[in-house]
Structure 1
């Protein structure tokens, strides 16, 4: 897994890449990778003023669709009912040898 380095004083990055990441390999089984992936989503959402309970749609990418039931057990611990809409796909390869990648669409904070 890796973590993006956020620099608060830096200009806004308009290109589709991180300025820097911290990485130390990709470890863990599908359960651990799912847990860490959702934890990373949670951190990003909270930094943007949102949260996991405001997620309306997720897309799950799995390197092995046979691991779906195991991933789903961990996923269900973090997305309570009513759970967001979800799509899932098996993909040939994920970056860094990952077993799972999850993207989400969430409600933005109100602009009051």
Structure 2
């Protein structure tokens, strides 16, 4: 058994408002002003099962789960810097893109979207995020 322990500079984040991790990882890790969110699937937090209704329902639930983790980590969706979207089929890009756009509204984080051979639990959609929670001086370089 490994003797590795979490370094004190890292804070592990978890919430019961999102599904428990399906493996040996945590829902998110905070380091400094950054929150790294593990992949969120379209699991119902109360049952641990994938929601019914196809990729659209799974995408909506995964985004809701990701939001719960972000908020548990002390940040907000408007501070998401980068997401990675994993799709079981790139044929689902258009409907998922519409759900994604509706979820983020005017906020447009950097994003990658890839088709993968298989997702955990045979999910159709997964999303991970990096979130900033920088609270320092907000002056622009021009004001320096």
Q: TM-score, normalised by structure 1?
A: 0.77
**Greater Rg, structure 1 or structure 2?**
2
**2:82 equivalent in structure 1:** 57
Aligned residues: 99
Distance 2:87 2:98 in 1: 14
Residue 26 of structure 1: how far off its partner (Å): 4.8
Residue 96 of structure 1: how far off its partner (Å): 0.6
What root-mean-square deviation, in Å, do the aligned CA atoms of Structure 1 and Structure 2 show?
2.4
Report SS of the residue matched to 1:4.
coil
5+ residue gaps, structure 1, are 6-14
Q: Is 1:102 the counterpart of 2:119 in the alignment?
A: no
Contact kept in structure 2, 1:26 and 1:98, CA below 8 Å:
no
Answer 1 or 2: which has greater helix percent. Answer: 1
Q: Against the structure 1 CA distance between its residues 66 and 105, is the aligned structure 2 distance closer, same or farther, given a 3 Å change threshold? A: same
Report SS of the residue matched to 2:81.
strand
Q: Which has the higher contact order (CA 8 A, sep 6+)?
A: 1
**2:25 equivalent in structure 1:** 17
Runs of 4+ in structure 1 off by over 3 angstroms are none
Contact kept in structure 2, 1:54 and 1:106, CA below 8 Å:
yes
